[in-house]
Amino acid sequence: MARRRKQSPFEDLIDLAALLPWWITLPLALIAFLWLHSIATSPIPTLANPAEFNSQLPGMMLRGLAVPAQYFLPAALVIGAIASVFGRMRRKKLFNSVASNENTLESISWREFELLVGEAFRRKGFTVQETGQGGADGGIDLVLLKDGEKYLVQCKQWRRQLVQVNVVRELFGVMAAEGAKGGFVVISGRFTEDAKAFARGKNLQLIEGAELSDMIRQSRATAARRNSQPTTIETPDQATSVSSDPLIQPRRAAQPTCPTCHARMVLRVAKRGSNVGNSFWGCSQFPKCKTTRNEMPA
């Protein structure tokens, strides 16, 4: 894995801002501009005598730094916010392409592999920090945060090679040095038996390519099921259910009116009693109005 080239402080600031959500970075940019602008435009004090120069020197230096920084810092934050938005879109597109088998773990680049792994952990509830350091930090590609604990991740996209035990041993050593709660080695291929034996009994999880692919597909399927689930409103003896099933749409069109209070009636499913599982029309003003009627034929 190649190392990153040496960056300027401006580029480092952009990378740091890109790690934050855009809705946090943009307000920070505005606050930074207003604060630095107020310093840069503050009046320059007049010196009555040369002896006052030393006491005024720190304020003069801060004012001098604030003049370029009032544009430099907000610009970096805004660019970082834009990078955060496009990075999120890129990760989502990459995740969906692998989940739908449009791309395989072997067909994407090593950088895309890191982004894909980070997105997979992000969808499992982790906060993900992408180090992008390659090997300068002991091979740590991602830092995960969850419930106040830190986890380290090493990614290896080796196409025709079994990952040896030394890779796993290296991560375990960095975990101890960093005080991490646990670690993950995620690869596109397979581990040797020695690598699996070393990780056994340690807070260190090895994820092979097949397991990663399954995890990505399951995550996408879970999200799809969550989006397609009907919205239910529980009541003491029955529940209101609004289904996305197209077969129910004609019945919605013929929505009756409550004969008692003349409000609209909604299609519900009995949760209790002898009619459990059967559909019926109930007043939308329940529990104020408890009028019901049997489901009308389509």
Identify whether residues 211 and 263 lie together within a single domain: no
Please report the pLDDT score of residue 241 as a whole number: 41
Residue span of the structural domain in which 269 resides: 257-297
Q: Does residue 83 lie in a domain region?
A: yes
Please report the pLDDT score of residue 184 as a whole number: 96
Please report the pLDDT score of residue 29 as a whole number: 95
**Residue 68: half-sphere exposure toward Cβ, Cα within 13 Å:** 4
Tell me the two tokens of residue 47.
């010196």
Residue 84 has pLDDT above 60, yes or no: yes
Mean pLDDT check: name the lowest of 35-44, 45-54, 87-96, 120-129: 45-54
Q: Does residue 249 lie in a domain region?
A: no
Q: Does residue 75 lie in a domain region?
A: yes
Identify whether residues 135 and 192 lie together within a single domain: yes
* 195 burial via Cβ count (<10 Å: 0-12, 13-18, 19+): buried
Q: Does residue 130 lie in a domain region?
A: yes
Domain of 158, CATH number, reads: 3.40.1350.10
Q: Does residue 250 lie in a domain region?
A: no
Residue 133 — very low, low, confident or very high, per pLDDT cuts 50/70/90? low
Identify whether residues 67 and 147 lie together within a single domain: no
Share of the chain above pLDDT 90, in %: 44
Q: Does residue 275 lie in a domain region?
A: yes
Identify whether residues 36 and 134 lie together within a single domain: no
Q: Does residue 140 lie in a domain region?
A: yes
Please report the pLDDT score of residue 174 as a whole number: 93
Identify whether residues 118 and 197 lie together within a single domain: yes
Identify whether residues 92 and 15 lie together within a single domain: yes
Chain segment 213-272, per-residue pLDDT in tens: 999 988 888 877 777 655 444 443 444 444 444 433 444 446 778 878 778 888 877 766
Identify whether residues 80 and 121 lie together within a single domain: no
Residue 138 has pLDDT above 60, yes or no: no
Please report the pLDDT score of residue 33 as a whole number: 96
Identify whether residues 83 and 118 lie together within a single domain: no
Residue 276 — very low, low, confident or very high, per pLDDT cuts 50/70/90? low
Domain count along the chain = 3
Query: Where a domain ends, among 155, 189, 217?
Result: 217
- Please give the mean pLDDT across all residues of the chain: 81
Question: Could you tell me where the beta strands, DSSP code E, fall in the chain?
Answer: 127-130, 142-146, 149-156, 182-187, 204-207, 231-234, 238-242, 265-270, 279-283, 292-294
Q: Does residue 63 lie in a domain region?
A: yes
